[in-house]
């Protein structure tokens, strides 16, 4: 699934009531199955941009257009997520997007397998335990299916989060500093897993990182400062 941003603007209201422009992106495109690193300094709007693309936030103006699907199953044609209602955005996100956070956000009361199955329960597909198990095996946790997060290492927890993000076979994976909490070796392993699984399900990948060792692995690198006119303010 390809993504195109057009004339996208978002501002927040500062503590004194003044407008704080954070995103002003005239144009950005991400191709079908393309893998891109998004880089930028702290506070420049990277998370805000991912939240806009995911429909968690809505822009003040502009369009966030998804086109095609790649699998022919639920062809989105051209959908502007910014023009959908909140409920429609939730459905669209559940069907088409996977989101990986810096810290894993797993549900502590549920096992690794249950957390991955929960990633499927918000979609149109029935939960698929065989696919959930095979994802956990692929991320090296085949022997830890029934462990709860507290009994997993930080790197293992993040691998569960990767499996969960891929559980509904998304068309686009948004990853916000997915390796930020990991040591360099584990970070490379998790990055390799994210990229391999995206390739397998033919998902595009937009990955935010400030770590040069991570960023240099991606075939295309984009600087938010170059995309974003708001960062010049
Ligand atoms: N709800 C909010 N209200 C007002 N300002 C906000 C709000 N959320 C974020 N901001 C401001 O928007 C700017 C961008 O924040 P954002 O979290 O998108 O940056 P980031 O590039 O992801 O930063 P980091 O790399 O440090 O996580 C920051 O200056 C922040 O203070």
- Any ligand 1 atom below 6 A from CB of 31: no
Predicted local confidence at residue 33, as pLDDT = 93
Strands 172-176 and 61-67: unpaired
Backbone angles phi, psi at 126, to 5 degrees: -70, 150
**Quick one: average pLDDT of 150-155?**
94
Summarised one tens digit per residue, pLDDT across range 168-212 is 999 999 999 999 888 899 899 999 999 999 999 999 999 999 899
What is the C-alpha separation between 169 and 201, in angstroms, rounded?
6
Does position 125 have pLDDT exceeding 80, yes or no?
A: no
The kind and range of the H/E element at 113 are helix 112-118
Length of the chain, please? 233
- Any ligand 1 atom below 6 A from CB of 20: yes
What is the C-alpha separation between 83 and 226, in angstroms, rounded?
26
Does position 73 have pLDDT exceeding 60, yes or no?
A: no
Distance of CA 2 to the CA centre of its chain: 14
What is the C-alpha separation between 151 and 131, in angstroms, rounded?
23
Ligand 1 atom nearest to 210, measured from its CA: 25
- Any ligand 1 atom below 6 A from CB of 231: no
Q: Which residues contact 73 (CB under 8 A, 6 or more apart)?
A: none
Q: Report CA(44)–ligand 1 centroid distance (Å).
A: 7
pLDDT-derived band at 147 (thresholds 50, 70, 90) equals very high
Q: pTM score, two decimals?
A: 0.92
Does position 222 have pLDDT exceeding 80, yes or no?
A: yes
Ligand 1 atom nearest to 40, measured from its CA: 21
DSSP code, position 232: G
For a mutational test of ligand 1's pocket, the pick from 14, 16, 48, 222, i.e. the residue with the most ligand atoms closer than 8 A to its C-beta, is 48
Predicted local confidence at residue 219, as pLDDT = 97
Predicted local confidence at residue 76, as pLDDT = 58
Predicted local confidence at residue 105, as pLDDT = 85
Place of tokens 């990955």: 207
Predicted local confidence at residue 194, as pLDDT = 95
Does position 30 have pLDDT exceeding 90, yes or no?
A: yes
Query: Domains in the chain, please, with CATH?
Result: 2-232 (3.40.50.300)
What is the C-alpha separation between 163 and 133, in angstroms, rounded?
9
Does position 38 have pLDDT exceeding 60, yes or no?
A: yes
Q: Report CA(69)–ligand 1 centroid distance (Å).
A: 31
Predicted local confidence at residue 70, as pLDDT = 46
Does position 74 have pLDDT exceeding 60, yes or no?
A: no
- Interface predicted TM-score (ipTM): 0.96
> Does residue 158 contact residue 190 with C-beta atoms inside 8 Å?
yes
For a mutational test of ligand 1's pocket, the pick from 8, 11, 12, i.e. the residue with the most ligand atoms closer than 8 A to its C-beta, is 12
What is the C-alpha separation between 79 and 64, in angstroms, rounded?
8
pLDDT-derived band at 122 (thresholds 50, 70, 90) equals low
Q: Which residue has the higher pLDDT, 110 or 125?
A: 110
- Any ligand 1 atom below 6 A from CB of 233: no
Does position 63 have pLDDT exceeding 80, yes or no?
A: yes
């Amino acid at each position: 699934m390809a993504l195109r941003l057009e004339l996208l603007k978002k501002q927040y209201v500062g503590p004194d009531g003044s407008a704080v422009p954070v995103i002003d992106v005239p144009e950005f495109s991400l191709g079908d199955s393309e893998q891109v690193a998004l880089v930028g300094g702290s506070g420049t709007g990277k998370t805000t941009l991912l939240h806009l693309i995911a429909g968690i936030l809505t822009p003040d103006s502009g369009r966030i257009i998804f086109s095609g699907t790649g699998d022919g199953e639920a062809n989105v044609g051209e959908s502007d997520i910014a023009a959908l209602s909140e409920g429609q955005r939730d459905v669209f996100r559940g069907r088409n997007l996977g989101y990986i956070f810096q810290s894993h956000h797993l549900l502590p009361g549920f096992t690794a397998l249950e957390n991955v199955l929960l990633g499927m329960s918000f979609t149109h597909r029935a939960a698929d335990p065989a696919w959930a198990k095979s994802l956990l095996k692929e991320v090296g946790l085949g022997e830890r299916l029934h462990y709860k997060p507290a009994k997993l290492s930080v790197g293992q927890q993040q691998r569960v989060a990767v499996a969960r993000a891929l559980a509904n076979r998304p068309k686009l994976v948004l990853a916000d500093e997915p390796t930020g909490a990991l040591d360099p070796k584990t970070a490379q392993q998790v990055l390799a897993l994210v990229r391999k699984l995206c390739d397998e399900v033919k998902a595009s990948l937009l990955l935010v990182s400030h770590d040069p060792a991570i960023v240099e692995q991606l075939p295309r690198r984009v600087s938010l400062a170059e995309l974003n006119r708001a960062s010049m303010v």
